[in-house]
């Protein structure tokens, strides 16, 4: 069974597991960890979700079998809850860990902090962090990154300083967290200070993630020339992420000449991400540069770039509900679309203007030019609004980046309903409250 798990052959491992007369806790843990690992490595989002659900099902069977889970069991399943944004199940694991006395384990308590961060519950994550009897570099870094992702930039920086006072030495990932906080808040002076600290005080050599934070900061502030100058000074070739940030910024701020240059550099890298090509196509189409559109499409064909698979899911009452763009297969689809149409019309009355862009979906009905009116996260949000208790936050996971139109639309939804809406896409966590988003409105690039 262990052999099959190591080789990623879960079906074969499960056959052996189910054929055992007696199952030890170690064996239960191995099966759950195997599903969690495959989930983390899966390239296909449908396969990843399925393995996560199988891991949750195994944990449920474990508890019903009369075998008491240990800290390893609980840590492993918390990582699954993080990936699925299964907050309710994560809270149940928290209660179980508290009752069992396992929260003194630093690995488990760190997994708990990470789960709450990934589920958009920064307050609960902070409480769990404060209650940790011992903190490792991983737990400090996780909390700093969590504050940054939730738009709590000053708290991220303050916690970084607290970590240093506690004598904990930051690493590369910690500095990505604090530089990201400076970037989102537009704190140029602080960003330069921490960048220099990383190099001179801690002797950490910057990597592309650190450079990307600085470029992102300049772009957010509209200082595109400063961003370009910084890119030229970094000492090695920028990657796809850095050029994408500049392209998106130039498109947002209207500097098309620099945007076209950045796009040329991006195309030379032959990126593998379909989202990057959608960004390039949208920029060229908006400028009516049809020869460049044709060139991008040719590169996509040569590189065998696929199509966007727009999928979102939301957990309600221990069940995960999955949605595609314009999905009408759900039993509540009539109610979902009545609510969606109502919210969109009310949003237009408050100033929402639908944004048109190229759509490159895997579904035939979505392939037409112009944005699909109901991308998957909108459908999932509407479903959550209908089925979650009044006033409860709606938490959605999306497998690709939110487009600008959906980002704008969901901001209005949060204002109109008075509900907190959390959408974790492939790049960032968006926490919508009262018509505002924690990302600072620059994260929707497509």
pLDDT per position as a tens digit, 255-289: 989 999 999 999 888 888 888 888 888 888 888 89
Q: Where residue 368 falls among pLDDT bands split at 50, 70, 90?
A: very low
Low-confidence winner among 54-58, 214-218, 269-273, 339-343 (lowest mean pLDDT) = 269-273
Same domain, 28 and 44: yes
Same domain, 291 and 402: no
Q: What dihedral angle (degrees, nearest 10) is formed by the CA atoms of 204, 209, 213, 219?
A: 140
Same domain, 348 and 385: yes
Average pLDDT over residues 22-47: 83
Is residue 404 included in any domain, yes or no? yes
Number of domains present in the structure of the chain: 3
Is residue 65 included in any domain, yes or no? yes
Same domain, 299 and 320: no
Is residue 231 included in any domain, yes or no? no
Q: How far is residue 159's CA from residue 174's CA, in Å, rounded to a whole number?
A: 11
Same domain, 317 and 432: yes
Is residue 87 included in any domain, yes or no? yes
Same domain, 328 and 411: yes
Q: How far apart are the first and last CA of the chain?
A: 44
Average pLDDT over residues 237-266: 91
pLDDT at 360 over 70: no
The encoded tokens of residue 301 equal: 């064909």
Average pLDDT over residues 105-115: 92
Domain boundary among 306, 335, 354: 306
Which pLDDT value is given to residue 357? 62
Same domain, 319 and 413: yes
Same domain, 318 and 293: no
Same domain, 273 and 327: no
Range of the domain at 255: 236-306
Domain boundary among 119, 153, 181: 119
Same domain, 396 and 423: yes
Average pLDDT over residues 131-145: 93
Tens of pLDDT, residues 3-27: 998 888 889 999 999 999 889 999 9
Same domain, 302 and 321: no
Please state whether 248 falls in left (phi above 0), alpha (psi between -120 and 50) or beta.
alpha
Is residue 421 included in any domain, yes or no? yes
Same domain, 270 and 378: no
| Three-point CA angle 47, 51, 56, nearest 5° | 150
pLDDT at 366 over 50: no
Domain boundary among 290, 306, 322: 306
Is residue 213 included in any domain, yes or no? no
Is residue 148 included in any domain, yes or no? no
């Amino acid at each position: 069974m262990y052999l099959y798990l190591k080789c990623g052959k879960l079906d074969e491992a499960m056959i052996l597991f189910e054929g055992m007369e007696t199952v030890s806790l170690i064996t239960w843990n191995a099966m759950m960890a195997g599903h969690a690992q495959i989930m983390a490595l899966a390239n296909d989002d449908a396969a990843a979700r399925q393995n996560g659900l199988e891991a949750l099902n195994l944990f449920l069977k474990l508890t019903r079998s009369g075998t008491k889970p240990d800290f390893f069991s609980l840590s492993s399943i918390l990582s699954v809850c993080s990936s699925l944004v299964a907050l309710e199940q994560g809270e149940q694991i928290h209660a179980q860990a508290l009752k069992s006395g396992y929260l003194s384990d630093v690995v488990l308590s760190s997994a708990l902090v990470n789960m709450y961060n990934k589920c958009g519950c920064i307050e609960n994550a902070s409480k769990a962090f404060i209650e940790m009897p011992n903190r490792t570099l991983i737990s400090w870094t996780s909390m700093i990154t969590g504050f940054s992702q939730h738009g709590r930039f000053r708290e991220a920086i303050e916690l970084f300083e607290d970590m240093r006072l506690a004598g904990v030495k930051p690493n590369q990932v910690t500095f990505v967290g604090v530089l990201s906080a400076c970037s989102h808040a537009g704190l140029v002076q602080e960003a330069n200070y921490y960048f220099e600290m990383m190099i001179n005080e801690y002797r950490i050599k910057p990597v592309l993630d650190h450079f990307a934070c600085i470029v992102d900061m300049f772009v957010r502030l509209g200082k595109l020339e400063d961003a370009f100058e910084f890119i030229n000074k970094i000492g090695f070739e920028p990657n796809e992420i850095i050029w994408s940030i500049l392209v998106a910024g130039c498109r947002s701020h209207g500097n098309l000449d620099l945007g076209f240059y950045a796009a040329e550099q991006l195309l030379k890298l032959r990126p593998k991400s379909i989202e990057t090509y959608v960004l390039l196509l949208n920029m060229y189409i908006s400028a009516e540069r049809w020869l460049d559109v044709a060139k991008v499409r040719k590169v996509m064909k040569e590189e065998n770039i696929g199509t966007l698979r727009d999928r979102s899911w939301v957990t309600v009452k221990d069940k995960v509900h999955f949605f595609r763009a314009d999905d009408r297969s759900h039993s509540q689809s009539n109610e979902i679309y009545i609510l969606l149409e109502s919210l969109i019309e009310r949003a237009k009355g408050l100033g929402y203007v639908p944004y048109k862009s190229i759509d490159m979906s895997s579904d035939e009905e979505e392939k037409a030019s112009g944005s699909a009116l109901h991308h998957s996260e909108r459908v999932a949000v509407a479903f959550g609004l209908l089925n979650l208790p009044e006033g409860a936050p709606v938490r959605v996971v999306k497998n690709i980046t939110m487009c600008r139109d959906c980002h704008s639309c969901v901001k209005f939804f949060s204002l109109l309903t008075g509900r907190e809406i959390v959408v974790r896409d492939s790049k960032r966590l968006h926490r919508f409250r009262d018509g505002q988003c924690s990302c600072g409105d620059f994260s929707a690039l497509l």
